[in-house]
Amino acid sequence: MKKSIGLIGSAAIAAIVAASAVADPDDNNLVIEGQSLVSETTAPEGSAFEIIYSGWRFRSPETQVLETDDFENPGMVAVEYGYELWETAAGSSGKSCADCHGAIEESMSGLRAGLPKWDEAAGKPLSLEHLINRSIKEHQGADAWKWESAEMLAMTALIGLQSRGMPLDVQTDGPMADWYERGKELYYARVGQLDMACANCHEDNWGNMIRADHLSQGQINGFPTYRLKWQGLGSIHRRFKGCMKQIRATPYKPGGDEFTALELYVASRGEGLSVETPAVRQ
């Protein structure tokens, strides 16, 4: 071992580690309420992966089953609350979301799969939370919700659910190109006292155990996700923040440009996977 490290160097070692990482996502098929979802597919062009897998495939059978049945899925409580909010009049307009958008099954279908998306007025890509808050403020005439509030999580879960089963597909060219590059930079940037990048775990070591955790590819197709550890739903940006704290880095701000760029880049790494919102994880 010692000799070979000296001789073949770290690139080769990295390659060995990466090769050994092509280990065990399980073979289970994700079927939710009778609908088959794509939890494994050929990686998008230019990807570091050959095959991409939903995080669902790395979880224990006990956790997995919670997502397959909407009565078992603990995230559905928030979805119910989301419906309530959707239909409740609020703000200076005295209107509900439903008053303007009609049936959510139609008006919001497909939205989650393509986020974050370019917004001409803002001059930048917007995440679902940004879009919701803009509509609340500008159209409904009510106060914006906090990023991680119960209302916001309920609404992002409800809207995300309208795209469940649809493949992630985000724009990365045109005005999005710079944001994609920025997100990619962040993905590979070493930060924190532990000096680690997203890629160290989720690209180089997915499939491996890091202490008690089975490292996934870090896909975000199931957000907001119900985490048993959180005992509730959490946003994509909350998850990013948690990872940064774990490596003892100062996290970026949820809703800020950095996390939005990172969200775009990570979403692009999962293109082809089904939206699973609200997913259930450990």
Partner 1 sequence: MNRTMSLVCGSAQKWTAAITVGALAAASLMGPASAEVGPDDVKIDDGVVAQPIADQPGDAAAGREWASGRKLGNCLACHAISDLSELPFHGEVGPPLDGVADRWSAEELRAILVNSKTVFGDQTIMPAFYRTAGLNKVADDFAGKTILSAQQIEDIIAYLLTLKE
Binding site for partner 1 (CB under 8 A): 1-2, 5, 9-11, 13-14, 17, 189-196, 200-201, 204-205, 208-212, 215, 244-245, 248-250
Number of amino acids touching ligand HEC (CB under 6 A): 4
Q: How far is the CB of 235 from ligand HEC (least distance, A)?
A: 26
Give 242-247's long-range contacts (Cβ < 8 A, gap of 24+).
Answer: 243/198, 244/191, 244/192, 246/194, 247/191, 247/192, 247/193, 247/194, 247/195, 247/196
**97 flagged as catalytic:** no
Q: Are strands 232-234 and 280-281 parallel, antiparallel or unpaired?
A: unpaired
Binding at 248: pick from ligand HEC, partner 1, none (beta carbon under 5-8 Å per type): partner 1
Binding at 7: pick from ligand HEC, partner 1, none (beta carbon under 5-8 Å per type): none
Binding mask 4-43 for ligand HEC (x = CB under 6 A): ---------x---x--------------------------
Catalytic residue among 97, 100, 198, 243: 243
209 binds ligand HEC (CB under 6 A): no
Using CA atoms of 78, 81, 82, 83 in order, give the dihedral in degrees to the nearest 10.
130
CB 112 within 8 A of CB 277: yes
Question: Is the preceding omega at residue 116 within 30 degrees of 0, hence cis?
Answer: yes
CB nearest ligand HEC: which residue?
13
Q: How far is the CB of 236 from partner 1 (least distance, A)?
A: 19
| Distance separating alpha carbons of residues 5 and 2, to the nearest angstrom | 5
Q: Which residues here bind ligand HEC, judged by CB under 6 A?
A: 1-2, 13, 17
Q: Catalytic residue positions?
A: 243
